[in-house]
């Protein structure tokens, strides 16, 4: 889940704060995807993982728990999100977190990551080729890269439905501008990675149910979640009076139509991309 077009400075401000506040519901929304991503990342053993745009740290924590003899470094530009990650990993001796722009990150010591992982944290670079080239120069020769990202907006019904009920702008002018759907096009992403020195690219298309609400009042849970995070939150925050009331009631109706048992679940589509270094 994320805003329609999100620059780095927004992650250090309002967007990062909302995500830090909503990390539990956000982890829930990614649930099935996280299982697939962690399974792909841990297909081979690793000594040192680098989690790019680690946010509130779920993937870092999962990797550190799965591989207690390995070390995981989470890197993010949002202090608020890193504070949550540090608290969650407080009992783990093998996960550390660092405030840094991943496109300029350098290892502090001699150990170089042999696994670079990210759950939806790599679509916000202004110059993705430069960022992935830089990362390729910081990691071990045999490093693997495994990340998830949304497929194109048109493949993601959750985003299309939110835009239509809110009359929100469906996309930024440039679909490749930094933001949640910037890595939607497979060939475009493949071109970035190949130019940055990565090879053996694999793209796995993952369709899953994004859980927005659950429990005794799943509809209220989902409505309040979307009013805090993502494109709906932004659009609604800019409305007032009756326009706002009408938007919230259309949002509730759309979410209610996506009820599955005691959950509100919206169709989402992602890539899990993996690669190795070409050296
Ligand atoms: C969509 S969120 C995903 C967060 C986390 N990986 C998760 O799955 O919950 C994107 C994250 O990337 C971070 N981010 C954006 N640009 C970054 C950069 N240049 N370097 C490091 N982190 C960045 C944001 O602060 C945010 O935490």
Could you read off the pLDDT of 197-223 as tens digits, one per residue?
999 999 999 999 999 999 999 999 999
> Within 10 Å of residue 223's Cβ, how many Cβ atoms?
22
Residue among 1, 77, 179 to mutate when testing ligand 1 (max atoms within 8 A of CB): 77
- Residue 278: closest CA among 162, 176, 199: 199
Cα–Cα distance measured from residue 187 to residue 200, given in angstroms and rounded to the nearest whole number: 14
Provide the pLDDT for residue 5: 56
For the chain, give every domain's residue range: 8-152+175-208+268-277
Tokens 């326009």 correspond to: 243
Cα–Cα distance measured from residue 213 to residue 220, given in angstroms and rounded to the nearest whole number: 7
Residue 8 has pLDDT above 70, yes or no: no
pLDDT in tens, 86-110: 999 999 999 999 999 999 999 998 8
Provide the pLDDT for residue 217: 96
Provide the pLDDT for residue 3: 43
In percent, the amount of the chain with pLDDT more than 70 equals 95
* Average pLDDT value for the chain: 93
Residue 9 has pLDDT above 70, yes or no: no
pLDDT in tens, 30-59: 999 999 999 999 999 999 999 999 999 999
Residue with the bigger pLDDT between 115 and 172: it is 115
Atom of ligand 1 nearest to the CA of 75: 21
Provide the pLDDT for residue 1: 45
Residue 4 has pLDDT above 50, yes or no: no
Atom of ligand 1 nearest to the CA of 55: 27
Question: Which protein residues are within 6 Å of ligand 1, measured from CB?
Answer: 2, 8, 11, 16, 26, 30, 53-56, 58, 75-78, 81, 101-103, 119-121, 124-125
Q: 8-152+175-208+268-277: what fold?
A: Rossmann fold (3.40.50)
């Amino acid at each position: 889940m994320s805003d329609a077009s999100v620059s780095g400075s927004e992650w250090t401000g309002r967007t990062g704060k909302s995500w830090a506040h909503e990390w539990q519901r956000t982890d829930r929304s990614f649930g099935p995807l996280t299982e697939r991503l962690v399974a792909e990342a841990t297909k081979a053993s690793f000594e040192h993982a680098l989690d790019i745009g680690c946010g509130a740290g779920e993937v870092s924590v999962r990797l550190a728990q799965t591989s207690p003899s390995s070390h995981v470094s989470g890197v993010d530009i949002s202090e608020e999100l890193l504070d949550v990650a540090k608290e969650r990993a407080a009992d783990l001796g093998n996960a550390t977190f660092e405030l840094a722009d991943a496109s300029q990150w350098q290892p502090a010591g001699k150990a170089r990551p042999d696994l670079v992982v990210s759950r939806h944290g790599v679509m916000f670079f202004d110059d993705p080729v430069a960022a992935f080239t830089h990362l390729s120069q910081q990691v071990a020769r045999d490093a693997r890269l495994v990340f998830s990202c949304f497929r194109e907006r048109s493949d993601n019904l959750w985003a299309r439905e939110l835009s239509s009920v809110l009359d929100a702008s469906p996309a930024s002018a440039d679909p490749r501008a930094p933001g949640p759907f910037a890595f939607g096009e497979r060939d475009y992403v493949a071109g970035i990675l190949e130019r940055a020195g990565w090879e053996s690219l694999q793209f796995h298309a993952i369709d899953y149910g994004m859980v927005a609400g659950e429990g005794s009042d799943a509809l209220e849970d989902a409505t309040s979640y979307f009013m805090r995070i993502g494109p709906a939150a932004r659009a609604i925050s800019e409305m007032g009076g009756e326009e706002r009331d009408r938007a919230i009631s259309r949002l509730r109706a759309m979410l209610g139509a996506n009820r599955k048992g005691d959950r509100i679940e919206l169709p989402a589509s992602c890539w899990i991309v993996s690669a190795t270094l070409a050296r």
